Structure 1
Amino acid sequence: MKNIIITGTSRGIGYELALLFANAGHQVLAISRKTPQALIENPNITCLSVDLSKEDDLAKIENFLSSTWKQVDAIVHNAGALLLKPFSETSTQDFEKIYKVNVFGVASLTRISLPYLKPGSHVVTISSMGGIQGSMKFAGLSAYSSSKGAVITLSELLSEEYKERGISFNVLALGSVQTEMLAEAFPGYQAPLSAKEMADYIYDFTLKGNKFYNGKVLQVSSSTP
């Protein structure tokens, strides 16, 4: 059984993913600002209330890893912040808020976890089709989509930097999934996949994908958006 860190577990894909791993017997560190009761009650899940944009909160993760786990087998960077606003109205502070979660949070958590990642560990970053070069883009998502492009490049770089240690870094660029975040970005749109269905895919990829991929970006999308 493995030790798995998952961010963004308060709802949607992250919530379903935490339950999948825990119910299969794995130990899960569920990181989100809000902690659902179902996760708190699961004996295989440790919930930490953490805002990834705040350095002081990140210390909670570092303290847990140093005192309790000692080893991390996989990380799923699933947390994401979204802003739907015309670019002309998007301030520097707006960009900073999105990037602090979607990019800096990914970098910080990875850096904190590095001493505990061993050969065979797999770091999976959940990006978006909006971050893929040449994909269809949507007005109002300049901060969000550009941040999702940034973590793609970050993961490619980390896969090169840590390949000698046997740590794999891959990205899943998701298309539309029926989550609360999608409803915020595209009101009224009905996605072809549920959060549970996508969580099933990510679960398998996290456990097995690093046998086949490293430093790669997989486009997981059956629709546009």
Structure 2
Amino acid sequence: MPVANTLHSLDLSSNLFAEIPDSLPTLVALRALNLSNCMINSLRSIAKNPLPAITALNLRGNRLASLAGIERLLSLERLDLRDNNLTDPTEIARLTGLPEIREIWVSGNPFTKTHSNYRVTIFNLFRRTPGFTEDIIIDASGPGYSERKQLVDRVAEPESAPVVRPVELEPAKTVSKVPAPVRQELLSQDITAAAATAAATEAIGAAGTTHRKRGNRRRIVDLSREES
């Protein structure tokens, strides 16, 4: 059986990769990938060729200043981003499009020193995104007591669209299409029949008029013959 269909875990740490190798997406069963301590500065290669089954990705100790491209790893559950070059905690917002993400590690990035409230910022990024019913785990811990006081209310799940049943329409009546020659013949027959009816009606009327004229003839009596 080919290795590409059976390999579940791969350790490529401490190599000189500047990007995630393009050949890795062919490992369709790969679930855990370790690319820590390389020289990776971009994730755009996985934007073109995402890892289809990956659930755990270790990118610790690389040179990432952006997470652009990570949005394509829809099966990802755990992501290690420690000791990279991320300067803004809102860059983590790219992970809110991953429906299965549950744990992230971010310590050692510049924003952890410049943004004292970065954990609350990240928690709230996910709370403002529909679909996350629990807080994400950051560096192996959820929100603490003081952090919970600063969390926003979790956004409500979008209401499901109402089900619209299709209206049942009565079947259309079938109209027979009469060929043009037949229509012409039927029309000629109708005209002939109408003409014959009109002629017959006129003849009957004429006959009635003649009969009435004959009935109105006056009788002439010769009185001279009676007197003699």
TM-score range, shorter chain: under 0.3
Which one has a larger percent helix, Structure 1 or Structure 2? 1
Q: Which has the higher strand share?
A: 1
Is the radius of gyration larger for structure 1 or structure 2? 2
Instruction: Tell me the TM-score normalised to structure 2 length.
Output: 0.27
TM-score after normalising by structure 1: 0.27
